[in-house]
Amino acid sequence: MNHSPIDSFWHLVTNNADQLRSLVNEETELAHELLQQVQDQLSDIDPHLTVFCARDQEGAGIELVFGCDGFSQSIDTVLFLVAAAPSIERIKVLAFNPRVEQIPEAIEIGDAVLELDELFFGLRIIGQELHLDLYLEDLPMVDDAPQTDAALMFLDAIVGEYDLMTRIHSVNWLDLPEDPLDHGLRPLIELRQQFDLLRPKQPALGEALH
């Protein structure tokens, strides 16, 4: 019997549910091999799909959080994938990284550490579109720099990944001026409050996260 890529993916997860629950915190070769299988099957569905595995708040199970790495054209695929998920004991399936109450003070990726207070922002409304200007000292010149990834993780935590992609038309990366407050910029920790005041009611489908 032929299975769709989504059916095949959930078949893999269901068949390996016990291993996923036990291996998600382990740094073993077997754990990496299984998680790589999961990611490979996701890529068969859509090359932009991502999954993050973590213990749930109670510590008894795990959460599988699916996203699309900022590519708005893959949002529907994430939603279809999560909607097709079977009920799996002690595995919670989520679409996109939600806002968090406790925003981290710093995010470490590889050898790079980005602190929250290093980031400033400005919000602009042009017509019906909301544009986010993100300011960082010594802005990396490459898109896949760890500082860029860490900044996007901060944005996910503050406004939520789905709102970041669908309510913000563009994210513009700019060098931090010497006196950011004098330029009317605000610390990134204040973004949630301003975003909620200006948040468009209709999705804009962000275009320039990369």
Question: Structure pTM?
Answer: 0.80
Q: How confident is the model at residue 207 (pLDDT cuts 50, 70, 90)?
A: very low
93 - beta bridge partners? 64
pLDDT digits (tens, 9 = 90+) for 128-162: 889 999 999 987 766 678 888 899 999 999 999 99
| pLDDT recorded at residue 206 | 42
Identify the helix (H) or strand (E) that includes residue 191.
Answer: helix 191-198
DSSP 9-76: HHHHHHHTHHHHHHHTT---HHHHHHHHHHHHHHHHH-TT-EEEEEE-TTSSSEEEEEE-TT-GGGHH
What is the distance between the alpha carbons of residues 123 and 18, in angstroms, rounded to a whole number? 45
DSSP 67-111: E-TT-GGGHHHHHHHHHTPPPBTTEEEEESPPP-SS--SEEEETT
- Contact status, residue 42 vs residue 54, Cβ threshold 8 Å: no
pLDDT digits (tens, 9 = 90+) for 19-33: 888 765 555 455 678
pLDDT at 6 over 60: yes
What is the distance between the alpha carbons of residues 64 and 50, in angstroms, rounded to a whole number? 10
Q: At what angle do helices 146-159 and 191-198 cross, to 10 degrees?
A: 60
Q: What percent of the chain has pLDDT over 90?
A: 61
Determine the Cα angle at 16 with ends 10 and 17, to 5°. Answer: 85
